[in-house]
Amino acid sequence: MADWLNAHPVLFRWVLWGIVLASIVTGLSLFLLGKLEARNVGYGGVFAFNLIGSASVVVPVPGLAAICASAAPSVGLNIAALAILGGLGATIGELTGYMAGYGGQSFIQKIRYYDRIHRIVVSHGAIALFALAAIPNPVFDIAGVASGSLGYPLRRFLLWVLLGKLVKFTAIAYGCRYGIDWVTSFI
């Protein structure tokens, strides 16, 4: 299968863009129709919020807030499942940046931090992707574009981004779950 995909790179790009765009349209439609509310999104909403939030820097979708709200003790959802679904959604969403870089044209390449992030991804590869995905920061889109423009292997990109996102969302979910308990104990 990998040999066939390497032999047909244009088709491969179209399939990836199709998956990403279908996911974004579905999630955004649900959000705009009011089917996703940050206070009670559940597992599917956590996935959709993080997919949309990671796929677009234009649409302000609070993916981290969805994780935090869903991790509240009164909601009773499984923290590991929230972290996994949030991480999967965010990782799939990051494909838009990767594909923009892979296609060679992106406005992000003109941002002043691009050269610095590009050098970090070149010199540290997987560790840089993992670290940038694991900490909440607005520059991960630049790392995705840099990875795509470098031709960084897609499987490795997805693996390290997913692992980083899992660490981030697990920490946020646990922090929100027990932080909310701690704050409400004072009230």
The one-character DSSP state at 38 is G
AA letter at 164? G
pLDDT at 180 over 70: no
Give residue 61's pLDDT.
61
Give residue 131's pLDDT.
94
**135 or 56, higher pLDDT:** 135
φ, ψ for residue 26 (rounded to 5)?
-65, -50
Structure tokens, 162: 């997913």
Place of tokens 């959000």: 31
Q: Using H for helix, E for strand and C for coil, what is the string for 84-117?
A: HHHHHHHHHHCHHHHHHHHHCCCHHHHCCCHHHH
Give residue 80's pLDDT.
94
pLDDT over 90, % of the chain? 24
Q: In whole angstroms, how far apart are CA 13 and each of 6, 8, 126, 141, 149? A: 11, 9, 22, 18, 13
Other CB atoms within 10 A of residue 158 CB: 17
Q: Give Cβ neighbours of residue 57 (< 8 Å, ≥ 6 apart).
A: 138, 141
Place of tokens 């909310």: 180
List, for residues 166-179, the tens digit of each pLDDT value. Answer: 999 999 999 988 88
pLDDT at 98 over 80: yes
Give residue 122's pLDDT.
86
Burial of 112: CB neighbours in 10 Å, binned 0-12, 13-18, 19+: exposed
First to last CA, the chain: 58
pLDDT at 53 over 70: yes
Under the banding of pLDDT at 50, 70 and 90, the label for residue 90 is very high
pLDDT at 134 over 90: yes
Give residue 170's pLDDT.
95
Give residue 156's pLDDT.
93
pLDDT at 2 over 60: no
**34 or 157, higher pLDDT:** 157
Give the CA diameter of the chain: 62
CA angle 64, 85, 59 (to 5 degrees): 45
